[in-house]
A and B are shown apart, each in its own frame.
Chain A
């Protein structure tokens, strides 16, 4: 095949073009998987700032209703709806997905599999460009006449389907368009990930030698691919409803709004696992490295990951227990929802068993990794109440739900990302991060995080509904003790946001002036640590061969307490 011929010719002189590249072709239109990974990461971080700012504005409104919010001004009810909708949308689609899957996948998959790039570098670049376009479209949707879309990130019709109801004629259409573009970008990226992992592994690397994080990213990509298709079709139908005036989801014209809920949650629930699995993979890498112990139950983790993947397709309607769905279906979905906690719990037990008897090193990435287990556990356990259909009738759409999914998404999208960034920073940028600042940032994030969401559980149990702009209009919810909880949560949130400053300082200071990192600062086994820090274009001087699994720590036959995959013996 001709591609092979080109590759062989290229291999003889892999780096000769490296020096000639100007800024644009090196950082903007690069086809290098690492640069594309960074592009995703920095775009995601930028969007996280927007999403975080939105959360700040609406939390301030809830704590001090009607007062002018510093840096924003007066919050109208329309603003409030737009802010909560786009906070959710941004944090899931433009922060968690690009950073956890796209950035980490792009950066890690070729390095960990010992190849010089993704198998389709130009497709990879295209996928980022479509993603960037989708982010721009979303940001434009905030400033068009009528304002940004305010129908919640789930976009239930008929509210989302007709400008008559939502009053955001352009905002809602641009929102749908942005989401659809983003899906297309990740489908392209996902095909690249899967093909690379299946076909381009280093010589000698068997299926069971692949690091867990690569496995989990790939399972996540398959879940995404399999769940998003119906929603792409649904997005087209919703867009036609909005712009052409069809009635796919409008009951007045014979359409069915509940169908959208099914299409959305058939995607929406697997989506939770799409972002969860890469984060769990990152935590597996970190925990085993800093316990200096072989990962407990590699195959068990792998098979339970598959089980989670399959089960995640059978639980979606637990989001719809009060949508008027058939109660008999409710029973089935309640059972499957409770079932899915089993494989996830099993993975958690494997992680704890990895820690048992290890010589644990409490570096910053390890602290983040450990806190992931603790915090996500709380999120998972509270989910069981919501999965039981009878309990859900009361809890549905209260702050209990909100606190529950923030206890799952925060560990995934924030703790997981910080675990990954602090762990791979030396490889990404060739310098070490400052440990002291890292620990200040860690405690300054984790403690306020719990202070935000534990009060919200209490508010939810007191019956406080979501998506309400001003609780003063509800005498039962405007009591002083409930308002105190709101103020407490908001204060904790502001403190947490302020504690992100040490991270940003640490990140950029270390980027330019940090201590130089060696090739393998954490003494880990996987292949990315074989490359130089930072890894050059083409990754490896000589493509590595693999002789063993990725987690051979403290092996009796090895000379040291770690045994890299590429060392013959």
Chain B
């Protein structure tokens, strides 16, 4: 049976479209999940002076490169959103695919980092710093993968000019993923 959106979905008492409002609530709940993890990390970090030395084993250039990649992908998706608003399908698709590409580069760099660290003997169970490092970055990487997958699904709709407003929604989510990385980068890579 084909699904029909109910009338309720089209209503907008707040003046914010329903989809966007839901994404904001989703992000609020994500703030708490990452916030809890980062707060736990900070509690440990400030309590253990030797963690600075352990953190020196993370690769700042790789982290910086990944920050750059994510910032650029944020630019691409916001350009895709701008293009979708003026119904420029070709340009929207181009920038969605560029964003997915950036996500791919991010994951490759991350995988390279993981490999280097594991080959140096720094694994998930080495000590609590590395546990936090792998948990936080892996949780973030899951969000990157989820974002890429959703973008790929949206790109099918965009091809036939359907549900163009979803480009904005995935954009907001993607910027949030970028935001989390903006904080993880100094926490895990820079502060030594």
**Does A touch B (CB under 8 Å) in the complex?**
yes
B125 A246 Cβ-Cβ under 8 A: yes
Q: Of all chain A residues, which has the CB nearest B30? A: A229
Known: A229-B31, A229-B32. 11 other contacts (CB 8 A): A2-B164, A3-B10, A7-B5, A10-B5, A198-B14, A199-B18, A200-B8, A229-B34, A230-B32, A232-B36, A237-B135
Q: How far is the CA of A119 from the CA of B19 in the complex (A)?
A: 9
Q: Mark A273-315, 1 if CB is under 8 A from B, else 0.
A: 0000000000000000000000000000000000000000000
A3 B131 Cβ-Cβ under 8 A: no
Q: How far is the CA of A191 from the CA of B37 in the complex (A)?
A: 21
| Residues 101-149 of B contacting A (Cβ, < 8 Å) | 124-125, 127-128, 131-132, 135, 139
Q: How far is the CB of A294 from chain B (nearest CB, A)?
A: 25
A236 B135 Cβ-Cβ under 8 A: yes
B22 A191 Cβ-Cβ under 8 A: yes
Contacts of B37 in A (CB 8 A): 230, 233, 236-237
Task: Report which of A10, A199, A230, A543 forms a contact with B12, defined as CB distance below 8 A.
Answer: A199
Contacts of B43 in A (CB 8 A): 256, 259
The verdict on A138 contacting chain B, using a C-beta distance below 8 Å, is: no
Contacts of A11 in B (CB 8 A): 7
Q: Of all chain A residues, which has the CB nearest B132? A: A248
Decide: A196 near B36, CB < 8 A? Known: A122-B3, A246-B125, A253-B127: no
Chosen A-B contacts, 19 in total, with CB atoms closer than 8 Å, are A1-B17, A3-B165, A4-B10, A6-B5, A7-B7, A10-B4, A121-B5, A198-B21, A199-B16, A199-B21, A200-B11, A226-B32, A229-B29, A229-B30, A230-B37, A232-B32, A234-B36, A237-B37, A244-B125
Q: How far is the CA of A365 from the CA of B7 in the complex (A)?
A: 33
Q: How far is the CB of A141 from chain B (nearest CB, A)?
A: 23
A25 B1 Cβ-Cβ under 8 A: yes
Contacts of A21 in B (CB 8 A): 1
The verdict on B90 contacting chain A, using a C-beta distance below 8 Å, is: no
Interface-centre pick from B14, B33, B35 (highest chain A CB count, 10 A): B33
B22 A233 Cβ-Cβ under 8 A: no
A230 B131 Cβ-Cβ under 8 A: no
B10 A8 Cβ-Cβ under 8 A: yes
| Residues 2-59 of B contacting A (Cβ, < 8 Å) | 3-14, 16-19, 21-22, 25-26, 28-37, 39-40, 43-44, 48
Binds B, one of A52-60, A109-117, A460-468, A486-494: A109-117
Contacts of B28 in A (CB 8 A): 225-226
Decide: A233 near B29, CB < 8 A? Known: A7-B9, A116-B6: no
Contacts of B35 in A (CB 8 A): 229-230
B128 A3 Cβ-Cβ under 8 A: no
Contacts of B5 in A (CB 8 A): 3, 6-7, 10, 121
The verdict on A254 contacting chain B, using a C-beta distance below 8 Å, is: yes
The verdict on B162 contacting chain A, using a C-beta distance below 8 Å, is: yes
Q: How far is the CA of A20 from the CA of B1 in the complex (A)?
A: 9
Interface-centre pick from A2, A11, A20 (highest chain B CB count, 10 A): A2
Q: How far is the CA of A121 from the CA of B26 in the complex (A)?
A: 16
Interface-centre pick from B7, B13, B127 (highest chain A CB count, 10 A): B7
Task: Report which of B16, B39, B162 forms a contact with A230, defined as CB distance below 8 A.
Answer: B39
Q: How far is the CB of B114 from chain A (nearest CB, A)?
A: 15
Contacts of A121 in B (CB 8 A): 3, 5-6
Decide: A10 near B1, CB < 8 A? Known: A229-B32, A233-B33, A233-B37: no
Q: Of all chain B residues, which has the CB nearest A236? A: B135
Contacts of B7 in A (CB 8 A): 7-8, 10-11, 115-116, 543
Decide: A191 near B36, CB < 8 A? Known: A115-B8, A246-B125: no
The verdict on A31 contacting chain B, using a C-beta distance below 8 Å, is: yes
Contacts of A117 in B (CB 8 A): 6, 8
Contacts of B10 in A (CB 8 A): 1, 3-4, 7-8
Decide: A248 near B131, CB < 8 A? Known: A2-B163, A226-B32, A234-B36: yes
Q: How far is the CA of A8 from the CA of B111 in the complex (A)?
A: 48
Contacts of A2 in B (CB 8 A): 162-165
Q: How far is the CB of A402 from chain B (nearest CB, A)?
A: 28
The verdict on A145 contacting chain B, using a C-beta distance below 8 Å, is: no
Contacts of B139 in A (CB 8 A): 233, 236
**By the criterion of a CB under 8 Å from any partner CB, how many residues of chain B are at the interface?**
48
Decide: A201 near B128, CB < 8 A? Known: A119-B8, A191-B22: no
The verdict on A522 contacting chain B, using a C-beta distance below 8 Å, is: no
Decide: A31 near B32, CB < 8 A? Known: A3-B10, A8-B10, A195-B25: no
The verdict on A214 contacting chain B, using a C-beta distance below 8 Å, is: no
B29 A191 Cβ-Cβ under 8 A: yes
Q: How far is the CA of A110 from the CA of B10 in the complex (A)?
A: 14
B34 A200 Cβ-Cβ under 8 A: no
Q: How far is the CA of A195 from the CA of B28 in the complex (A)?
A: 13
B40 A255 Cβ-Cβ under 8 A: no
B4 A6 Cβ-Cβ under 8 A: yes
Task: Report which of B4, B13, B16 forms a contact with A200, defined as CB distance below 8 A.
Answer: B13
Nearest 4 pairs of A and B residues by beta carbon: A229-B32, A230-B36, A117-B6, A4-B10
Q: How far is the CA of A116 from the CA of B31 in the complex (A)?
A: 31
Task: Report which of A196, A232, A237, A248 forms a contact with B8, defined as CB distance below 8 A.
Answer: A196
The verdict on A187 contacting chain B, using a C-beta distance below 8 Å, is: yes
Contacts of B11 in A (CB 8 A): 115, 119, 199-201
Q: How far is the CB of B131 from chain A (nearest CB, A)?
A: 4
B165 A1 Cβ-Cβ under 8 A: yes
Q: How far is the CB of B21 from chain A (nearest CB, A)?
A: 5
Q: How far is the CA of A234 from the CA of B35 in the complex (A)?
A: 11
Q: Of all chain A residues, which has the CB nearest B47? A: A256
B128 A31 Cβ-Cβ under 8 A: no
Decide: A225 near B25, CB < 8 A? Known: A198-B13, A245-B125: yes
The verdict on A176 contacting chain B, using a C-beta distance below 8 Å, is: no
A200 B18 Cβ-Cβ under 8 A: yes
The verdict on A350 contacting chain B, using a C-beta distance below 8 Å, is: no
Q: How far is the CA of A17 from the CA of B2 in the complex (A)?
A: 10
Decide: A247 near B131, CB < 8 A? Known: A115-B6, A195-B21, A259-B43: yes
Q: Mark A184-207, 1 if CB is under 8 A from B, else 0.
A: 000100111011101111000000
Q: How far is the CA of A247 from the CA of B134 in the complex (A)?
A: 13
| Residues 211-238 of A contacting B (Cβ, < 8 Å) | 225-234, 236-237
Q: How far is the CA of A31 from the CA of B6 in the complex (A)?
A: 10
Q: Mark B143-181, 1 if CB is under 8 A from A, else 0.
A: 000000000000000000011110000000000000000
Q: How far is the CA of A232 from the CA of B31 in the complex (A)?
A: 12
A233 B162 Cβ-Cβ under 8 A: no
